[in-house]
A and B are shown apart, each in its own frame.
Chain A
């Protein structure tokens, strides 16, 4: 029972109300699933990669408004970026793009960064396997 959400920025609220890129991608090139329902947040991120560029990205999130908004923002930020560029996106950058988060909610942005990294690692793992065969 917390009133922390009253401190959310307008941008966070906007992304919470109208999250971008919700859903999943069929036959994705990379999938990242992080978090734990027991802790109250789970994030799933799908990417489609063409010539080293993330051409499509989708997410599903179980969590608070900060978790939803950071998921939404991170998908906006990676779309059209190369895999290398996307790997450099930090949770700090996501938080800044949302005009900040209440301090107690910053851990939610770490989850978004982790989901992105997990999806890219998953993609890179597939690539390695392809090269080997």
Chain B
């Protein structure tokens, strides 16, 4: 059975071109970029070339890019870094209730250590309200962190407007751009962000590498101590092959993302339209237009998400759910709940995220099998009967 992978928001396959670019840096060009002889300088050159590529993609300067061990580290670095470098100025941080855990749990950590965190609500589509942000700012506010686009429901936040508000208030602004960089245009000056997190494996680069953009002049505490790498902000011998892979992924994304986003948005809309036509009692979660080109998120009434996922997997289709049966807390996705979706519907949520290798036939296959799966699960659901 051909497997259809529709979980690109979770991770993407590393492109063969990326792997090919990385390979020499494991073996022939294995040098430590800090060494002054030729092996070291080859590696240094490759790292700096990757840095330039990342900077170019987001309209930054190469000295404003710090390589990290992934998007989560980049978010951690940004939030803790700004918080501890600016605690004399203030202790207040503003974020939203739909951030990735890489931001939320850092905020909770800081909240237990004397910082005051404001978690802003979102509307039914997942959008944060600009007036809420303005109202939340106090003279103690040091940082605003709002994601560029949400990983679960795909809603694209009004980051540019938030950046304007933050700049006028003299507050640092961080955005988690893990779901956008490499997929849709992101420019740090247009968005007026001071810090921005990137992850390579979300756009066909390797896992375990990412980057943090830090606008020149931003006061930030170093994240890892123990060496002078990354200007002393992130000590540790550079992961040269992974950084090269990130650079290559950035290069390819820069060339192809415009066309690819258009193609995926077409498939996305086909999938949404088809599912809404073929299955009753479903709702599309997220924003109708301000939405990532590859994201489809649905709630299927009367059935539970894991059962849906497992049934799809038996048909070779890989998707994701906001249901949480078996996790420490029975609470479904915090994002879906923040959108005001009732818990029982959040438990029946299903996320498809498209990618480069998906074709129209993949969408057709989902439309062919999902209605039957839903019907089978509903036939054994006590909830449907109660509603009748």
Inter-subunit contact B326/A102 (CB<8 Å): yes
**In the complex, which residues 1-54 of chain A have their Cβ closer than 8 Å to any Cβ of chain B?**
1-2, 4-5, 16-17, 19, 22-24, 33, 37-44
The smallest C-beta distance from A46 to any residue of chain B, in angstroms, reads 10
The smallest C-beta distance from B314 to any residue of chain A, in angstroms, reads 7
Measured between beta carbons, the chain B residues less than 8 angstroms from A59 are: 380
Instruction: Give the residue name and chain of the B residue nearest to A6 (CB).
Output: B313
Residue tally, chain B, CB below 8 Å to A? 29
- Having A19-B380, A64-B307, one finds 11 other A-B pairs with CB under 8 Å, namely A5-B306, A16-B310, A37-B343, A40-B304, A41-B304, A42-B382, A43-B382, A67-B325, A102-B326, A104-B327, A105-B325
Instruction: Give the residue name and chain of the A residue nearest to B333 (CB).
Output: A1
The smallest C-beta distance from B191 to any residue of chain A, in angstroms, reads 28
Inter-subunit contact B326/A64 (CB<8 Å): yes
Inter-subunit contact B322/A1 (CB<8 Å): yes
Inter-subunit contact A41/B322 (CB<8 Å): no
Question: Of residues A23, A60, A67, which shows the largest number of chain B Cβ atoms within 10 Å of its Cβ?
Answer: A60
Instruction: Give the residue name and chain of the B residue nearest to A12 (CB).
Output: B310
Inter-subunit contact B383/A42 (CB<8 Å): yes
Number of A-B residue pairs at CB separation under 8 A? 87
With an 8 A cutoff between CB atoms, is B213 at the interface? no
Measured between beta carbons, the chain B residues less than 8 angstroms from A62 are: 302-304, 381-383
With an 8 A cutoff between CB atoms, is A61 at the interface? yes
Interface of B is mostly: loop
The smallest C-beta distance from B199 to any residue of chain A, in angstroms, reads 16
Inter-subunit contact A2/B326 (CB<8 Å): yes
With an 8 A cutoff between CB atoms, is A95 at the interface? no
Instruction: Give the residue name and chain of the A residue nearest to B313 (CB).
Output: A5
The smallest C-beta distance from A51 to any residue of chain B, in angstroms, reads 28
The smallest C-beta distance from B105 to any residue of chain A, in angstroms, reads 15
Measured between beta carbons, the chain A residues less than 8 angstroms from B314 are: 17
Inter-subunit contact A64/B385 (CB<8 Å): no
What are 17 residue pairs bridging A and B, where the CB atoms are less than 8 Å apart in the complex?
Answer: A2-B306, A2-B324, A2-B327, A5-B326, A23-B380, A38-B342, A40-B304, A41-B304, A44-B382, A61-B380, A61-B382, A64-B307, A64-B310, A64-B325, A66-B326, A68-B380, A104-B326
With an 8 A cutoff between CB atoms, is B330 at the interface? yes
Residue tally, chain A, CB below 8 Å to B? 33
Measured between beta carbons, the chain A residues less than 8 angstroms from B10 are: 1
**In the complex, which residues 290-336 of chain B have their Cβ closer than 8 Å to any Cβ of chain A?**
302-304, 306-307, 309-310, 314, 320-327, 330, 332
The smallest C-beta distance from A60 to any residue of chain B, in angstroms, reads 4
Q: How far is the CA of A24 from the CA of B323 in the complex (A)?
A: 26
The proximity string for B residues 342-371 relative to A, scoring 1 for CB distances below 8 Å and 0 otherwise, is 111001000000000000000000000000
Inter-subunit contact B323/A38 (CB<8 Å): no
Q: How far is the CA of A44 from the CA of B381 in the complex (A)?
A: 9
Instruction: Give the residue name and chain of the B residue nearest to A71 (CB).
Output: B380
Say which residue of A2, A16, A33 sits within 8 Å of B382 (CB atoms): A33
Say which residue of B320, B323, B330, B381 sits within 8 Å of A60 (CB atoms): B381
**In the complex, which residues 53-102 of chain A have their Cβ closer than 8 Å to any Cβ of chain B?**
59-68, 102
The smallest C-beta distance from A2 to any residue of chain B, in angstroms, reads 5
With an 8 A cutoff between CB atoms, is A119 at the interface? no
Q: How far is the CA of A47 from the CA of B38 in the complex (A)?
A: 79
Q: How far is the CA of A24 from the CA of B307 in the complex (A)?
A: 20
Measured between beta carbons, the chain B residues less than 8 angstroms from A22 are: 379-380
The smallest C-beta distance from B207 to any residue of chain A, in angstroms, reads 16
The smallest C-beta distance from B178 to any residue of chain A, in angstroms, reads 15
Inter-subunit contact A40/B323 (CB<8 Å): yes
The smallest C-beta distance from B63 to any residue of chain A, in angstroms, reads 37
Say which residue of B304, B342, B343 sits within 8 Å of A63 (CB atoms): B304
